[in-house]
Structure 1
Amino acid sequence: MKEYHEKLDAILSDSSKFERLTRNPTEDIKRDANRVISTINAATNTVHLPPIQGDFSLGYLYGNMKTHKEGNPLCPIISQTPASTYALAKCLNQILTPYVPSRYSLSSSVEFLEEIRDSPGTGIIASLDVESLFTNVPVDETIDIIMDRVYRDPSTAPLNIPEASLHTLLDICTKRAPFSTHRGQMFCQKDGVAMGSPLGVLFANFYMGAV
């Protein structure tokens, strides 16, 4: 257990990714998010985001051990299920998923098998792994990629949500998502997206599909 805690401490010591908090910002986050949600709901009849209501807890950090790698490093998981922005992040994920670039991705293992079956049978299949992908996704750059894709790409119909409002909500759900640690401390992940966030896969797919 001591080694497990020390590995989590080492992850949290990266000040470029994590910021220690001295107070619980949940009520501030609810207020700021609801202000933007009200703006969106008043601006369009085609998209309705439910306001954030009720009491919420902080997300929480734990680690999954990578037993297949030397030193058995931990993969940090930040469960945001109890957090105030969890349901909002799920809504945004559903709204934005149709805009994810698909040029370099496959939708399922069935599609992969079809590609292999139709290939000429020459060449090499390689599996490349991006180390700590979610943690290393640059949030600000990825939000800009999403904005360009949703509002300025001629191949997609613009979303009927004010751009500035969507930008703010994505920022809130990723950079203002507080969580508690194994030592009872409060942190937020200020860059990179959290495994455990409904937006984690979405942001990774947008970023990897654009770079």
Structure 2
Amino acid sequence: MAHKDTRHSATQSTPHNKTGSSFGVMYGLPKIHKSSIPLRPILSSYTTPNYKTAKFLATLHEPLTKNPNNLSNFLKFIENIILQDSDLYMASLDVETLFTNIPVNETIQIVVDRLFPTPDSAFNNFNSPDFRKLLELAVKDTAFVFNDEVYVQTDGVGMGSPLSCTMADIFKCHLEAYDNHSGAVSETITDLPEAFTAANAEG
């Protein structure tokens, strides 16, 4: 989610400026595997003022991107699938526009809660307020240029930031941990057996 920033002109800062930071640049890559060939938005952010901060923080967040549901050995996974009952099906689910749908404030709170379980906790010599501020500087209110207009991203993360994949993984791991703990299962997953039965009947 982004809105146009009329306070600045795209000519004030371009990625060709070698002497300092500049706005990020938004461009699209065609998804040729889909019939309508939509564009995947990519935010080139290596010239932005918060790029190195995001890159530094991404390495610190690595432990939060893992959970017991992560696939670490694909061959072992295939072996387990082969040994399963032949009446079972394997489904691959996709998240639509994952990066721009990541709730930034909620994910920042998840990170802070995990790394600082108590008010006086410390992590890599950071306290909780300072670390939160660094995260906010790294991922919030990112300015970028598209079609010679300046925009500011108001929520979600842009594909191209060093923290984008990390933030997405952290939020997904949080949801999976919540589902496992509470027993909550989404209606989409609950409806999968009926969908497979209907597909077999048609086939």
Q: Are positions 1:18 and 2:6 aligned together? A: no
Distance in 2 between residues matched to 1:62 and 1:22, nearest whole Å: 20
The separation in 1 between residues aligned to 2:170 and 2:145, in whole angstroms, is 28
Paired AA for residue 152 in structure 2: C
SS in 2 for 1:121: coil
Which residue of 117, 127, 130 maps to 2:79?
A: 117
Q: Aligned equivalents of 2:122 and 2:34: distance in 1?
A: 43
1:122-133 matches, cutoff 5 A: 122=85, 123-133=88-98
Within 5 Å, give how 1:15-164 maps onto structure 2: 17-24=1-8, 55-107=20-72, 111-118=73-80, 120-122=83-85, 123-152=88-117, 159=123, 160-164=125-129
What is the aligned-residue identity percentage?
Answer: 36
Aligned length: 160
In the alignment, structure 1 segments of 5+ residues that lack a partner are 1-16, 26-53
Answer with 1 or 2: which has the greater Rg.
2
Q: Name which of structure 1's ranges 135-144 and 64-73 shifts more when overlaid on structure 2.
A: 64-73
Unaligned runs of 5+ in 2: 10-18, 176-203
3-state SS of 2:61 partner: helix
> Could you list the per-position Cα deviations for residues 107-127 of structure 1 after superposition, in whole angstroms to 9, with x for gaps in the alignment?
4xxx12223324533332211
List structure 1 segments (4+ residues) > 4 angstroms apart after TM superposition.
none
TM-score by length of 1: 0.69
1:99 partner amino acid: L
Cα-Cα RMSD: 2.1
CA distance in 2, matches of 1:24, 1:166: 29
SS of the aligned residue for 2:3 comes to strand
In structure 1, what is the equivalent of residue 172 of structure 2?
Answer: 208
TM-score, normalised to structure 2's length? 0.72
Shift of 1:131: 0.5
Residue of structure 1 equivalent to 2:150 = 186
